[in-house]
Amino acid sequence: MESIGVLMTCPMFNYLEEQLENKFKLFKLWNFSEQKQQFLKENSNSIRAIVGNASFGASSELIDSLPKLEIVSSFSVGLDKIDLNKCKEKGIRVSNTPDVLTEDVADLALALILATLRKICESDRYVRSGLWKRGDFKLSTKFTGKSVGIIGLGRIGTAIAKRAEAFNCPISYFSRSEKPNTGYKYYSNILDLAANCQILVVACPLTEETRHIVNREVIDALGPKGVIINIGRGPHIDEPELVSALVEGRIAGAGLDVYENEPEVPEQLLGLDNVVLLPHVGSGTFETRKAMADLVIANLEAHFLNKPLLTPVV
Amino acid sequence: MAAQAQQPESKDLPVVLLLRQFPFISSYTDIFSNKFRSLNPSTSSLPLNDFLTTHANSIRALICSPQKPFTSETLKCIPSLEFVITTSTGIDHIDLNYCRSKGIRVANAGDVFTEDVADLAVGLLLSVLRKVTEADRYVRTGFWLSKGEFPLGSKVGGKRVGIVGLGSIGFEVAKRLEAFGCMISYNSRRKKSTVSYLYYPDVRDLAANSDILIISCALTDETYHIINKDVLSALGREGVVVNVGRGALIDEKELVRSLLQREIKGAGLDVFENEPAVPKELLQLDNVVLSPHRAVLTPESFSAFHELVIANLEAFFFNKPLLSSVNLE
C-alpha cells in the first residue's frame, strides 16, 4: 500500500504519523498551508484517503478538491467536521474511532466533577501561592450521593453513569428515546432533567438538534447549586449564557473540556475559581491515542484490501 | 427568645474544654451553647496549662483536633478528665497510653468523613493521571492558544492500584476505583476475609506490583514513614502516590527527591509532614497535585460531624454508650 496517497489534515499524534508514513504515501497538509491550492492541484489525483480529527476533518470543499478520494478515516469519535452527506452522495466511506476513547472521556468527566465540586485546582493554587500558612480555606461540596443527570446515554454517557454509581449517585438521563433496562430515570424533556439533578453532564453527539441544547432555560432549571460538566462539544452549550450564569452565580460551577471556539476560551472564565478549564483532553491519554491510531490504520488497510471496515460510519 | 428562656442557666450546663474552636460552623453555635458550657483557653491570657490548672476540677470532657496539637502534660493538668473527643478520624495526636491508664474514654469522627476522603483520593488520583491541575493552568495562562495541544496524560483503566490500609476509607476508595476498571490490591496488618482483593503482607511487595499507591491507613508508631525510599523505588518510574492519610506516613524528603529525580511519576497529596508548611520543591512541580488537608471539608460532612460530636458529648454526660468510641485495648 506504499503507493496509496493518504492526506493527513493536521498534526495529531507522532505515532500515527510514523505508522502512516511507513505504510502509505503520506501527505501532510499543514506543510503546505501557504500553497494549499497549488499542493492540491498537483497531488489531488494521487490522494485516495483523508485522515482527519475532531478539529480538522473533511469539509465539502476539501472533498470536492480530491476526485480520487475513497475514504475518510477519522482519528476521532465525533464526525461534525466531516461533510457526511457529501460523502454519502459520492460513495466515499467514513470511519471513526468509537469505543476506544469511551473510558478516557468518562474518566475525564468524573475528574472534572471531582475537581469542580472538591475545588482541586483552586486548592492546588492556594497551596502553591503560600496562602495555606495564612488561614482557612473555604469548604467544598460533597460528591458522593449527588444526583447526576446525563444528556445522551450512549457509550460515553453509560460509562459515566457506571462510574458515578460507584459514588452512590442517583442517575437520570435525557435522550431522544428511553433506553431499555438501564435502571436509570429517563426524562423526555431536558428541562425536567436539569430541574431534577445537581450535576448535569453533556455527553451526546453534536448535531443540529443538540446545538445549544444547554441554553439559558436549561441553566436556570439546573439552578444556583447546579454544576455543568461538558465533555461533549463546545457548541452543545450556549457559551455566553453559561459565562453569564457563572459570573452572576446562577449556577455553582462548571467543568469544561470543550468550548465553542477552541482553542479560544472566554476571557471571563479565566479568572473564575468555580470553573475547571481543560484544553480538550477528553481522549488525551497515551494508551488511548495509540489504540485510536491503530484503529485509523486498520480501517484504511481494510478498505484498501476490500475487506469490511472495522468501525464504519458511511 | 422563648426557646432560649426555657434552657437551664449556662452555669448549670456540663463544661466542655475546647482545645480547638467548636462548633466550626455558625449554624451549630446556639445548639451547642444550649447544651454545654464552653471553656475556651484561647480567650484567656494565661498559658494553656496554667489556665487548665485553675479549672482542673470542673473539666470532665474536652474537644481536640490534630490541627491544634497538645502534649500529655496538658492532659495531666486535668485530673478530672474522663472523655476526649477529637474532630478527626485519626487519633495519632492523642496520648492513648495515658488515656488508657487513666480510664479516659476517647471518641473520634467515626465514619462521617469516610466518603469525602475517599472521593478526594479518587479526585487527586484522576487529577494526577489526567494532569487536571496542570491543564487548567495551561488554559488559564493562555498556553493553549500559543503552544497548541496539551501533553497526553495516562489512562486510568487497567491500572494496578495498591491501597495501604484497607479500613473504611481504603475500602470506599477501592469500590470507586473498581468502577474505573482498576485492579485493586492492598496491604494492612491482617488479611481481610470480607474482600477478594489481593493481599500483600509487605508494603514493598504491594508497591512493586502496583502502578498507584493510595495511602489511607492510620498513623501509628508502626506506620510512621511506612512509605520510605525502598517502597518508592519498588513503585518505580511509572508510579503515582496519593496520600489522604497523614503526612508522616511518607518519608517526605524521600518523596520529594523521588519526584525531582523522576524516580516516580507523580503524587497527589492532601497531607504533609509539617503542615501548613509544604516542601518548596513541590510547589514548582507540574506532576504533583497539592491540597491543603481539606479532604473532609464539605458542608454535608460537616453537618453530620457536628451532630456526631454533640451526640457523643450528650451520651457521655448522660452515661449512655458513645456513638463513635475508639477502642483503646
Q: Kind and range of the H or E element at B37?
A: strand B37-39
List A17, A70, A103, A262, catalytic entry: A262
**Which residues in chain A have their CB less than 8 angstroms from residue B289's CB?**
120, 124
* Whether the domain at B2-112+299-317 and the domain at B114-290 fall into the same CATH topology: yes
Q: How close is the nearest chain A Cα to the Cα of B88, in Å?
A: 16
Any A CB within 8 A of B146 CB: no
Going from N- to C-terminal start, the domains of chain B cover 2-112+299-317, 114-290
Any B CB within 8 A of A305 CB: no
| Through-space distance between the first and last CA atoms of chain A, rounded to whole angstroms | 22
* For residue B2, pLDDT beyond 80: no
Burial of A91 (0-12, 13-18, 19+ CB in 10 A): exposed
Q: Do A284 and B153 touch (CB under 8 A)?
A: yes
CA–CA dist A130, B280 (Å, integer): 10
- Provide the pLDDT for residue B282: 97
Burial of A208 (0-12, 13-18, 19+ CB in 10 A): exposed
* Residues whose CB falls within 8 Å of the CB of residue B230, separated by 6 or more in sequence, listed in order: B204
CA–CA dist B197, B183 (Å, integer): 8
Report how far Cα A78 is from the mean position of its chain's Cα atoms. Answer: 7
| A188, A191, A194, A196: CA torsion to nearest 10 | -70
Burial of B318 (0-12, 13-18, 19+ CB in 10 A): exposed
pLDDT tier for residue B3 given thresholds of 50, 70 and 90: very low
**Which residues in chain B have their CB less than 8 angstroms from residue A104's CB?**
155-156
Any B CB within 8 A of A150 CB: no
**Which residues in chain A have their CB less than 8 angstroms from residue B155's CB?**
103-104, 107, 285-288
Give the CATH H-level superfamily of domain B2-112+299-317. Answer: NAD(P)-binding Rossmann-like Domain (3.40.50.720)
- Comparing CB atoms, the residue among B120, B136, B149 nearest residue A278 is B136
Q: Enumerate residues 40 to 69 of chain A having a beta carbon within 8 A of any beta carbon in chain B.
A: none
Positions of B annotated as catalytic residues are: 246, 275, 293
Q: DSSP letters of B232-298? A: HHHH-TT-EEEE-S-GGGB-HHHHHHHHHTTSS-EEEES--TBTTB--GGGGG-TTEEE--S-TT--
- Provide the pLDDT for residue B55: 87
B61-64 vs B83-86, strand pairing mode: parallel
Q: How confident is the prediction for chain B on average, in pLDDT?
A: 93
List A48, A93, A233, A289, catalytic entry: A233
CA-closest candidate to residue B131, choices B155, B111, B161: B155
pLDDT 10s digits, B177-196? 999 999 999 999 999 999 99
- Provide the pLDDT for residue A138: 77
How many other CB atoms are found less than 10 A from the CB of residue A189? 10
Q: Do B119 and A281 touch (CB under 8 A)?
A: no
Locus of grid cell 452549550: A237
CA-closest candidate to residue B108, choices B93, B92, B88: B88
pLDDT 10s digits, B46-85? 999 899 988 888 899 999 998 888 888 999 999 999 999 9
Active site residue A233: yes
DSSP state of B68: S
Q: What is the ipTM of this complex?
A: 0.88
Q: How close is the nearest chain A Cα to the Cα of B176, in Å?
A: 5
For the range B219-225, what are the long-range contacts, defined as Cβ-Cβ under 8 Å and sequence gap of 24 or more? B219/B90, B219/B92, B219/B245, B219/B246, B219/B248, B219/B249, B220/B92, B222/B189, B223/B165, B223/B249, B224/B248, B224/B249, B225/B249, B225/B250, B225/B251
Q: Enumerate residues 158 to 197 of chain B having a beta carbon within 8 A of any beta carbon in chain A.
A: 158, 175-176, 178-181
pLDDT tier for residue B1 given thresholds of 50, 70 and 90: very low
Using an 8 Å Cβ cutoff, are B72 and B98 in contact? Answer: yes
**Cell numbers placing B48:** 494553656
Cis peptide before A205 (omega within 30 of 0): no
pLDDT 10s digits, B122-164? 999 999 999 999 999 999 999 999 999 899 999 999 999 999 9
Q: How close is the nearest chain B Cα to the Cα of A302, in Å?
A: 28
| A109, A111, A117, A122: CA torsion to nearest 10 | -130
Give the CATH H-level superfamily of domain B114-290. Answer: NAD(P)-binding Rossmann-like Domain (3.40.50.720)
| Inter-chain contacts counted by CB atoms under 8 A, chains A and B | 165
pLDDT 10s digits, A278-291? 999 998 899 999 99
Locus of grid cell 454535608: B300
Q: What domains does chain A contain, in order, with CATH numbers?
A: 5-100+286-304 (3.40.50.720), 102-277 (3.40.50.720)
Q: Kind and range of the H or E element at B212?
A: strand B212-215
pLDDT 10s digits, B15-24? 999 998 899 8
Half-sphere exposure (Cβ direction) of A311: Cα atoms closer than 13 Å: 21
Active site residue A262: yes
**Cell numbers placing A212:** 445549544
Amino acid at A190: I
Q: How close is the nearest chain A Cα to the Cα of B298, in Å?
A: 5
**Which residues in chain B have their CB less than 8 angstroms from residue A277's CB?**
135-136, 139-140
Q: Enumerate residues 65 to 94 of chain A having a beta carbon within 8 A of any beta carbon in chain B.
A: none
Any A CB within 8 A of B281 CB: no
- Comparing CB atoms, the residue among A145, A168, A278 nearest residue B135 is A278
| Through-space distance between the first and last CA atoms of chain B, rounded to whole angstroms | 46
For the range B1-10, what are the long-range contacts, defined as Cβ-Cβ under 8 Å and sequence gap of 24 or more? B4/B30, B4/B34, B7/B34, B10/B37
Residue B164 vs residue A139, higher pLDDT: B164
* For residue B7, pLDDT beyond 70: no
pLDDT 10s digits, A109-122? 999 999 999 999 99
pLDDT 10s digits, B238-285? 999 999 999 999 999 999 999 999 999 999 999 999 999 999 999 999
Q: Enumerate residues 268 to 287 of chain A having a beta carbon within 8 A of any beta carbon in chain B.
A: 270, 276-279, 281, 284-287
Buried b (16+ CB within 10 A) or exposed e, B8-21: eeeeebebbbbbbe
Using an 8 Å Cβ cutoff, are B120 and B94 in contact? Answer: no
The residue of A123, A141, A147, A158 whose CB has the most chain B CBs within 10 angstroms, and thus the best one to mutate to test that interface, is A123
Any B CB within 8 A of A146 CB: no
CA-closest candidate to residue A304, choices A4, A90, A94: A4
Q: Do B299 and A141 touch (CB under 8 A)?
A: yes
Q: DSSP letters of chain A? A: -TTSEEEE-S---HHHHHHHHHHSEEEEGGGGSTTHHHHHHHHGGGEEEEE--SSS-B-HHHHHT-TT--EEE-SSS--TTB-HHHHHHHT-EEE--TTTTHHHHHHHHHHHHHHHHTTHHHHHHHHHTTGGGG-PPPP----TT--EEEE--SHHHHHHHHHHHTTT--EEEE-SSPPTT--SEEESSHHHHHHT-SEEEE-SPP-TTTTT-B-HHHHHHH-TT-EEEE-S-GGGB-HHHHHHHHHTTSSSEEEES--TTTT---HHHHT-TTEEE--S-TT-BHHHHHHHHHHHHHHHHHHHTT---SSB--
CA–CA dist A279, A286 (Å, integer): 16
